[in-house]
Amino acid sequence: MPPWGAALVLLAALALLGLLAPWLRRPGRLAVGARTLPGAGGQGHKEEVYGRSPADQLSDGREPLPGGCRLICKPSALAQCLLRAFRRSAALEPGPRSWLSGPHLQTLCHFVLPVGPGPELAREYLQLADDGLVALDWVVGPCARSHRFTNAGGLPAVLLVIPNAWGRLTRNVLGFCLLALERGYYPVIFHRRGHHDCPLVSPRLQPFGDPSDLKEAITYIRFRHPAAPLFAVSEGSGSALLLSYLGECGSSSYVTGAACISPVLRCREWFEAGLPWPYERGFLLHQKIALSRYATALEDTVDIGKLFRSRSLREFEETLFCHTKSFPISWDTYWDHNDPLRDVDEAAVPVLCICSADDPVCGPPNHFLPTELFHSNPYFFLLLSRHGGHCGFLRQEPLPAWSHEVILEYFRALTEFFRMEEKMKGLSRRRASCLGGRRRWGTLPKREVSPSSYLEEIFSWKRSYTR
């Protein structure tokens, strides 16, 4: 089947979504009477007449934001800063109702429609420690970067973008890179082994939540731009990679702030429950087409026949990474090493997750969102919208997805928060040094701090910020 076969299958399924919508809901989402209310970014949402919406059920005790969104998090100084920034956000303001109101349209337009003219990319191949290859696509055009830099040293911040785990570079990812470039960031897209024309030079693919390749890529990015702050954004199932990296590296992470668009957080349950059949078949077909070019290279490590006969995403994942010929492992062991939340308590970087209550791929928020994480961990923030589909959050053309605008506002708020915290700490240090100088005259001079270490201190996350 040609590469665009998956798109045709999903477009054919789109015609049936109106008839099959009651059966496409996951368990727990009741088909009750609904009324349409205005939502963020110009979309409408549905609220249950005989009960509250899932967004309301999960956000008790939180003040609402424009467009019916809610910020769910543990109270802290940074949370108050973000709340003020989101209240002023024009991207969350409701607008005229669009024909892209339904969650399935939001999702399928994002995954199925052609990408169109995208940004100019400069590709680099990074050879890893085991001789594998990953690709980094640096966004270099078509527009010149803005002069509104994001750090005190006058350097543009590097923005690392991680696409979904299936390797498809969607129109929303490319649109976000263009918007970030206009706002003064330097975007770079990370591609896994064998994804998006990155050669597979060794018979090893990257498991769902194994951040070892990402660690080497971020180390290289840091080497190229040692003084620039680094932000990271992931899309959909690609969020497992980013969250695994933040958990494993903890306070040693080079990332200043991170954001996840429609993340899959309970990954094992997500694979085992399965997706609505149009999405399950479409994603599975896309993966089979992408790996068909490497069938000869992989036949010594996996059962190729069984792999391409897989009838579900779980069976495909299990055959590819668990039932290997050289080192087979159990499904339980695989998720012990690949669950993105396995080391979440070690994460020391603020993470914003943008999710929708009508996400048809992940399901209802009371099933796929671990809300206790956002209520108890001061580094995790959940912006829950009533609509938006999966990785959609689209508005009327030519406006970009409102999630993109919110993420860049979130990064700007983080930078200002760190800057103000550092300014207050500097004043306290100077006051303490003056008092200490009066009491201890003739003490040894204080060792000067280099500018590079000063910049490093500004953009490193401290647990004291979570007061």
Name residues whose C-beta falls within 8 Å of residue 170's C-beta, 6 or more positions apart in sequence. Answer: 110, 111, 115, 163, 164, 235, 391
Structure tokens at 9: 């299958």
Catalytic site includes residue 300? no
Four-residue CA torsion sign, 269, 275, 281, 282: negative
The amino acid that residue 145 corresponds to is R
| Neighbouring-strand partners of residue 186 | 158
Q: Are 263 and 353 in contact (CB under 8 A)?
A: yes
Say how far apart CA 411 and CA 172 lie, in whole Å. Answer: 18
Structure tokens at 230: 């680094």
Q: Are 221 and 158 in contact (CB under 8 A)?
A: yes
210, 339, 358, 359: which one is catalytic? 359
DSSP code, position 40: B
Catalytic site includes residue 390? yes
> In the block, which residue shows the tokens 């958990």?
247
104, 195, 390, 404: which one is catalytic? 390
The amino acid that residue 447 corresponds to is R
| Neighbouring-strand partners of residue 34 | 48
Q: Name the phi and psi angles at 271, rounded to 5.
A: -65, -40
Q: Which residues are catalytic?
A: 359, 390
